[in-house]
Structure 1
Amino acid sequence: MAGTVFHAPLIRAVPEFELAAIAGSAEAAALIADPAIDVVVIATPNRSHYPLAETALRAGKHVVVDKPLTVTSAEAVGLIALAAEQKRMLTVFQNRRWDGDYLTVKDAVRSGRLGEIALFEAHWDRFRPAIKPGWRETPAEGAGLFFDLGAHLIDQALQLFGTPEALTADIGAQRSDAEVDDYFRLTLHYGRLRVNLSAATLIAAPRPRFAVYGTGGALVKYGLDPQEAALKAGIDPRSPGFGEEGPDLYATFTGADGAEERIPAQPGRYVAFYEQVAAALCDGSPVPVEPADARAALRIIELARESARERRRIAI
């Protein structure tokens, strides 16, 4: 799905790129060795990200890796050093930075309208009682819901608030047939501010996607950014209205006086990721996602697993 739904349509939407070849993991070596290929996009099971990215960098290719960059922070450090040594671009497809709901919340937080933020919550809920076939549901390094959705939620939180002082995590399996984690709740501690990140697979009535509470009011947003659904439906990301949400999914701002205001969600724009990749390669602009950001998120994932295992708060 990553290649078909996300990467291929977005690459085709950027005129600087030509989608030249597609290969499965078994055929990747031949593609990486092709001298006509400039950029290799790795959208394979998480545990294969590091070996494929290492091979591509050593072959002199620029590399885009789907999130998470690797399955350990130590592997991420190694890839970052190798990319610098090879003088090649390395970036990570953290596409949820370009979700319309997240962009709307980010603007509200940074505007100061909410005052001092006391509580930030992000939920990613699904109702999926049956186990979905595939590597994400099979015990292996890099599998499970926390690696899948946690990598997105943690990245968004770090972009908004920076590195926390400490964290507390609860990670587990709630479905009777689950062999990997299908639930998590992660709390990041920033002085008086608490950031709660959670995802689950048995939520038939989803919680707010984002909820932000501060001394100046609250902002609550329901619904998931529509870009993934549109891409699955085959809609071209260059189409008019792509990434826009209707009034039924506007955010609600509640002021300190209790008055409510509906806030339109910004249009999401995943294609911006590959536009920035093109700018980085053609003009020397910054990459859309620094791999160091992905390494920081992986370290949070590792410490969160330690917290859940030992049932304690961990300082960072």
Structure 2
Amino acid sequence: MAVQQTYYVAVVGYGLSAKLFHIPFIRAHSRFKFEALVDRRATSPSSATTPELNGVNIFSSLSELLENGEFDVAVLCTPPWTHYELAVPLITSGKHVVLEKPATPTAEEAKELQRLAAKHQVRLAVYQNRRWDNDFLTVRELIKQGTLGAIVEFETHFDRFCPDVAPGSIAESKPGTGIVYDLGVHLIDQVYCLWGMPDRVTAFVDHLRDPRTQDMCTLLLHFSKRLVTIKATTHSAEQVQLRFWLRGDKGSFKKYHLDIQEPQLAEGKKPTDPEFGVEPEDRCGILTLIENGHLVATHVPNVPPQTYSAFYDQLAQALQGHDAPELPTMEQAMEVLRLVEMCLKSVEARRTMECR
């Protein structure tokens, strides 16, 4: 029997992404050990005394980590515009790297990182965790089974109502920021997983609260005989937000509410808790089909959750040299970033852009 290797992980950056979306899953996984953290607020390498960081070596800079830390994998939880400059020394030092989404601000930077990773024989992966949103997995299964027939319209939303800006919450615009890079990348990636690259894109973006950052987008992805609409906004005053709306030639499916994993993590639930990722029954999607000439609506529960733990399952498989078909790769990230760039070009040119 093959030896199950343990991989030592260094997390770079200690904001919301690290605390909610990475550290809990690293700690819960038998193949990974949370070994080191880079936090620029630290004054010197030390061992933290807080429960979350108990036994973790803390460094104040990446250079200190590379000089004194012992680790196999680095997880970059820093702002997008820093990813390239931080990933290069890690890759050239022979470390595997996980990049928070978006991988980089540009597809060209992503391509160069992939070239370096191949040269130094290390793994690069992108944390597109919302591939494991339970509602998306349910939608994917409905499409795979052909329940709705040929999908002619597909709407995916990530809407909120927060019209007021908290003081100090918006900084000057930086590369890789704004709602298309922030929330849009998740939704574009999900669509890419379903159907690949569209033929054309038409995009609309606006600054509703502050001229320094984009906070509303509508992205139209044109496929042959299928229109995908991606919407994200800070100005959706609804008690219950729409998440998915699919229309096919055999029926439709509508789902409300965002995936439950993020709020559960914010409440302190752990990935190992039995109820983690499980939505209550009142959040079921509505499936409408024609039966005996009549439209009949039924509630459809989500498929059993895989949760964001699946990302680290796939990463462990890849590091061990096994197939990891669901691991988000840099090649896929490049395609998603190409779509982001085409959408922003569409906004600038005020016209539809060809993708193929």
Task: Report TM bin, short chain.
Answer: over 0.9
Q: TM-score, normalised by structure 1?
A: 0.96
- In the alignment, does 2:324 pair up with 1:286? yes
**2:35 maps to what in 1?**
20
**2:117 maps to what in 1?**
83
Q: Distance in 2 between matches of 1:228 and 1:234?
A: 10
Contact 1:131 1:137 in 2 (8 A): no
Displacement after TM superposition at 1:144 (Å) = 1.0
- In the alignment, does 2:236 pair up with 1:203? yes
Q: Distance in 1 between matches of 2:237 and 2:212?
A: 21
Residue identity matched to 2:320: C
Q: How does 1:1-316 map to 2 (within 5 A)?
A: 1-24=16-39, 27-34=61-68, 36-132=70-166, 138-175=172-209, 177-205=210-238, 207-256=241-290, 257-266=294-303, 267-286=305-324, 288-316=327-355
1:89-145 CA-to-partner distances (Å, cap 9, x unmatched) read 000000000000000000001111110111000010011112246676531111211
Displacement after TM superposition at 1:233 (Å) = 1.3
Secondary structure, in 3 states, of the residue corresponding to 1:209?
Answer: strand
Q: Distance in 1 between matches of 2:231 and 2:264?
A: 25
1:17-49 CA-to-partner distances (Å, cap 9, x unmatched) read 110011125512222344521000001011001
Residue identity matched to 1:281: L
Higher strand share: 2
Secondary structure, in 3 states, of the residue corresponding to 2:34?
Answer: coil
Residue identity matched to 2:143: V
Gaps of 5+ in 2: 1-15, 41-59
Secondary structure, in 3 states, of the residue corresponding to 1:248?
Answer: helix
Distance 1:33 1:214, change over 3 A: farther
Q: Distance in 2 between matches of 1:180 and 1:107?
A: 36
Q: Distance in 2 between matches of 1:294 and 1:133?
A: 33
**2:8 maps to what in 1?**
none
In the alignment of these two chains, the number of paired residues is 315
Residue identity matched to 2:276: F
Q: Distance in 1 between matches of 2:86 and 2:169?
A: 17
**2:53 maps to what in 1?**
none
Alignment RMSD: 1.5
Range that drifts further, 289-298 or 129-138: 129-138
Higher helix share: 1
Displacement after TM superposition at 1:284 (Å) = 2.8
Secondary structure, in 3 states, of the residue corresponding to 1:129?
Answer: coil
Q: Which has the higher contact order (CA 8 A, sep 6+)?
A: 1
Q: Distance in 2 between matches of 1:252 and 1:21?
A: 45
Residue identity matched to 2:216: Y
Contact 2:36 2:69 in 1 (8 A): no
Distance 1:65 1:133, change over 3 A: farther
Distance 1:65 1:136, change over 3 A: farther
Displacement after TM superposition at 1:265 (Å) = 1.3
Contact 1:45 1:135 in 2 (8 A): no
Gaps of 5+ in 1: none
Distance 1:79 1:300, change over 3 A: same
Displacement after TM superposition at 1:178 (Å) = 4.3
Q: Distance in 1 between matches of 2:192 and 2:87?
A: 24
Displacement after TM superposition at 1:248 (Å) = 1.1
**Divergent runs of 4+, >4 A:** 132-137
Q: Distance in 2 between matches of 1:139 and 1:47?
A: 11
Range that drifts further, 41-50 or 31-40: 31-40
Q: Distance in 2 between matches of 1:33 and 1:15?
A: 27
Secondary structure, in 3 states, of the residue corresponding to 1:198?
Answer: strand
Q: Distance in 2 between matches of 1:243 and 1:306?
A: 37
Displacement after TM superposition at 1:173 (Å) = 0.8
Secondary structure, in 3 states, of the residue corresponding to 1:243?
Answer: coil
% same residue: 38
Residue identity matched to 2:299: R
Q: Distance in 2 between matches of 1:192 and 1:97?
A: 24
Larger-Rg structure? 2
**2:43 maps to what in 1?**
none
